[in-house]
A and B are shown apart, each in its own frame.
Chain A
């Protein structure tokens, strides 16, 4: 759906925001772009959407070059910016009609009604933007981006500074769009979101794409699981015959912890039988998977 080839961006103040970015976004996928602040996430999105002119390289959206065929390329795109860029004296409804109008599409009240209802904004349709709370304004930004029925939706940190409930709702919106076949590109700090929504994850740091991988594969590859066994009786030290790598005793002596990589040869079976032989009984067990966040921190630190 989107093809980014050799894109560089150096701002007029000399700041290099993007370095030779190559990236393909597939049709219908949810792609999460992760990276620390100032990594180039917004610059990359802005370059695709036409807000920033790349210094070099080409970008196509749905096969249309974003410079030569900008009309066709941009017609496919909906953009939800990070900041609350709204004209505060306008009503929610007029914001919607203008947004669609700019895209050269005929007014469609039924569509606006649907969008506003989906985003729990329907009762606010005649309210001026200035009277809305921050969370509501963010919904308006999303509503506005949907008015041109985009095939690709960009969400630039959609849940930054948003309460839990709204965050839930937004995740629902993304899931619904995904069901309808809309391609969604999402940048976020909240790795749980990427973990929950994304099909693929891209990690950008210092203007370079460090890694693009299927989320499940990435978590499998980088993910460690921790098995914790709650002991019936406290131990002062691990029995000497338990020598398996990755096994440790918690500080208070109530748990045995085992860190392992998922897959076959996890070593769980041998650990459990060894414990049984040593006469150690446990009352409960628990496994925990390392999150994308930990993976992300590890990856960024590695570079």
Chain B
């Protein structure tokens, strides 16, 4: 096992984050603050409470989850895509490092980056509303799992993408819409029955509600289902990654 190699990839990716600090950390913070101002304060004052939680509090787990999803995905996908794009991937391919080590390096770095941003958003949220977290350990476990799963997802897409358009395809057309429709800003019980059923096919509903349950004990779906869906996603992605590596797909010609 080439631990130093894995650690080098991890370190290199986090240093890349530091280099693009504004883009990677400051901008999600600003975006989140804006969400608070618009939804938490302006609209939230009209909504009052959902299941006994103030609207400003209600949206916090959703916003954190949205940031975790987007950032872990984009960090991992761009992390592996850029060396491929500029050709410096040759360094990894000619090094005595296995596919598993390469994946672990990129995915763990992207997970870390997402968690840092999630933590910062939590901190920013504290300026707007008090946040007594009911199950802090579950909140952490859940955040780590989801970040990891989406980092893995991003890594796969970064491997697959052969141009920038493909790289941006999923975040724009799948992840962003699904997270907006996944109950970040509303409880799905507010929807008409037909749309409630449709929404249950959106996997992000389970992740967002999982974190909300850990925060406040309120959820639209049972937390066990949240865990099951996340883990199923992880297994699926492990399978895809294993298949990619078996075929050397898109990395080794």
List residues of A whose CB falls within 8 A of some B CB. 11-12, 46, 49-53, 70-75, 77, 79, 81, 83, 85-89, 94, 97-99, 101-106, 144, 148
Q: Which residue of B lies closest to A9 (CB)?
A: B253
Contact pick for A51, options B94, B96, B97, CB 8 Å: B94
Q: Contact at B87–A81, with CB atoms within 8 Å?
A: yes
Q: Smallest Cβ distance from B214 to chain A, in angstroms?
A: 36
A53-B91 contact, Cβ under 8 Å, with A71-B2, A101-B8 = no
A101-B86 contact, Cβ under 8 Å, with A51-B94, A52-B252, A53-B248 = no
Q: Which residue of A lies closest to B105 (CB)?
A: A102
Q: Contact at A101–B7, with CB atoms within 8 Å?
A: yes
Q: Contact at A103–B88, with CB atoms within 8 Å?
A: no
14 further contact pairs, Cβ within 8 A, besides A104-B3, A148-B95: A46-B253, A50-B94, A51-B94, A53-B248, A53-B253, A70-B96, A75-B96, A83-B87, A85-B86, A85-B90, A89-B19, A102-B92, A103-B97, A104-B95
Q: Smallest Cβ distance from A143 to chain B, in angstroms?
A: 13
Q: Contact at A71–B96, with CB atoms within 8 Å?
A: yes
A102-B87 contact, Cβ under 8 Å, with A53-B253, A94-B15 = no
Cα–Cα distance between A281 and B109 once the two chains are bound (Å): 82
Number of A-B contacts defined by CB within 8 Å: 85
Residues of chain B lying within 8 A (CB to CB) of residue A105: 4
Contact pick for A77, options B8, B12, B94, CB 8 Å: B94
Contact pick for B253, options A11, A85, A148, CB 8 Å: A11
A101-B5 contact, Cβ under 8 Å, with A51-B93, A83-B87 = yes
Contact with A along B46-83 (1 / 0, CB 8 A): 00000000000000000000000000000000000011
Contact pick for B95, options A11, A12, A102, A106, CB 8 Å: A102
Cα–Cα distance between A249 and B83 once the two chains are bound (Å): 60
Q: Smallest Cβ distance from B236 to chain A, in angstroms?
A: 26
Q: Smallest Cβ distance from B103 to chain A, in angstroms?
A: 14
Q: Contact at A98–B87, with CB atoms within 8 Å?
A: no
Q: How large is the interface on B (under 10, 10 to 19, 20 to 34, 35 or more residues)?
A: 20 to 34
Contact with A along B89-116 (1 / 0, CB 8 A): 1111111111000000000000000000
Cα–Cα distance between A75 and B96 once the two chains are bound (Å): 6
Cα–Cα distance between A105 and B5 once the two chains are bound (Å): 8
Cα–Cα distance between A8 and B16 once the two chains are bound (Å): 39
- A–B Cβ pairs within 8 angstroms, 24 of them: A50-B93, A51-B90, A51-B253, A52-B252, A52-B253, A53-B253, A70-B96, A71-B2, A79-B94, A83-B87, A85-B87, A86-B88, A87-B82, A87-B83, A87-B86, A89-B16, A98-B12, A101-B12, A102-B5, A102-B95, A103-B96, A104-B95, A104-B96, A144-B91
Q: Is B9 an interface position by the 8 A CB rule?
A: yes
Among B87, B95, B253, the most chain A Cβ lie within 10 Å of the Cβ of B95
Q: Smallest Cβ distance from B28 to chain A, in angstroms?
A: 21
Cα–Cα distance between A250 and B221 once the two chains are bound (Å): 97
Q: Contact at B252–A50, with CB atoms within 8 Å?
A: yes
Q: Smallest Cβ distance from A298 to chain B, in angstroms?
A: 33
Residues of chain B lying within 8 A (CB to CB) of residue A74: 94-96
Residues of chain A lying within 8 A (CB to CB) of residue B97: 102-104
